[in-house]
Structure 1
Amino acid sequence: MNVSGKGTTSSVSYFILVGFPSSPERQLLYFGLFSVTYTLTLMGNAAIASAVLWDRHLHTPMYIFLGNFSLLEICYVTTTEPNMLATFLSTTKSISFVSCFVQFYFFFSFGADEGFYLCIMAFDRYLAICRPLHYPRIMTKQLCTGLVIFGWSSGFILFLSPVVFISQLPYCGPNIINHFMCDPVPLMMLSCSEDSITQLLYSTFNIIFMTGTFIFILSSYALVILAVLRMPSAASKHKAFSTCASHLAVVGLFYCPILVMYVSPGSGHPVKMQKFLTLFYSVVTPLCNPLIYSLRNKEMKVALRKIFRTERCS
């Protein structure tokens, strides 16, 4: 497939994803390990989403946002892990030009949606703890529905332009990506011509989006913590801190490796570090999030027990 870009014709029709080069035996070991993590990630996030759907006690904005966040996690890992599992068993490890950029688009769109959902959840906790008397009037059903729609759609709108710009760069060869997914940084490095404008625009886009959402979340929780410290009841403080601790743990797992990776894409991170950081936020974080939210939340524990009891009875 030929793709025109900036006056040059791209001759590359597919890319080779190097992944984690090793012996065939170790590739099978990796396949087994990541198959288990992928299955556990799907089960954990599906359990939380199901608990929110079926338990009427969880039909509140906080849990509705959490349920949607869990569904996003399922979509997020599905954009990369099935293909990564296939490369462990493949000898060619190839991915078509179109499939590569489709993966790029959906992976980062879902990732951006997760960032927005973390902002929405931080805003919800700010209103509930810092403005408790006004919370029912502000967080109406209409606003909750609008935030849910915004959280799902915003990433797809934002990442359309970066994907189009990078896909229009001329790719004449080589076509080997030393990664396990179609990451934009190695893709830009494979371009025949060094387009500093595209790299600058992409870097600026990442800085504005990631630091902006991260600062918003930290600011919201800083105000929440100050409000919690002023609470007279020790029980209220403990409950509020427990909820905020879960959210902040997920925020830390999600943002720390991403900020290192994508705020400065031209900073020359070693290839192994890039793979490790990407693996952490794309595989490990979605696996840990259900544990964080379920282990520290009594209401979620009760809802999950109800689901498991129902399944056993049936």
Structure 2
Amino acid sequence: MTPRPIIIDTDPGQDDAVALLLALAAPEELEILGITVVAGNVPLPLTVRNTLKICELAGKPEIPVYAGCARPMMRRSVTAEQVHGKTGLDGPDLPEPVMRVRPGHGVDFMVDTLMAAHDASVTLCMLGPLTNLGMALVKEPAIVTKIREVVLMGGAWMEVGNVTPASEFNIHVDPHAAHNVFASGVPITVMPLDVTHKALTTRERVARFRALGTPVGTAVADLLGFFERFDEAKYGTDGAPLHDPCVIAWLLRPDLFQGRRVAVEIETGSERTMGMTVVDWWGVSGQPANALVINQIDSDGFFDLLTTRLASL
């Protein structure tokens, strides 16, 4: 099987870290052309450092990592230290990285890599705010013809917002970039809160990672142990939603998910509902479908996949 070429765009974040580890543990299925980093869960210098730390934790220092946009396209930066801690990867004590970020801007890397691709062959895995891709579409609209699929974690429709009453964090941070992506015509698969809130890191599931007895397993258990506390207090659940790994799991095991092709638009005109993901689930608008929105997951199968793959690192 020929591995699927992918670019990962990320803002680690504990759940981003697990998503990166899952992708790095799947070399037979996924060819990581590079990782672009964006400001989001914490400011850009920290998200870059965290990405390098995770690549080294996985024993993959050869993966190219590029720093991208340090702020949203049109709005003030918003971060989430209250969820992820001051570093963005609070929990484990990971060593400072030896590997270094590659020269050049992440947006330029994304554009250059896509334009050099053969036909529509590259999948973009978007784990954070969509600023880098939004800017890439402005810089070179022709990249649309080179994208096989955009798979993103973001948005919500029935679960509604986790930052404002109307908006989910990744879309809320840069709604104008998200608008660019959803209006671009590229094939899109969306992992909203409606599905990620069904993938909870219960104590039993976290214990399985620790039981691997490896540096990766221990680090993941420590990451999730810290990450859980915010959402457990907020939602009263056993564990926290493991958002971003759903993107990578979709590429490896799409049979674990169910959804529907619908029309999706991003609200950018109202401060009250800024960043709202307007999902026409029942087809009442008459607008053509532009995204596959996922709303169901086999959570046991998802965590089995995570545990099995991470055991290989």
Tell me the TM-score normalised to structure 2 length. 0.24
Q: Which has the larger radius of gyration?
A: 1
Comparing both structures, which one devotes a greater share of its residues to helix?
Answer: 1
**Relative contact order: is structure 1 or structure 2 higher (C-alpha 8 Å, sep ≥ 6)?**
1
Tell me the TM-score normalised to structure 1 length. 0.24
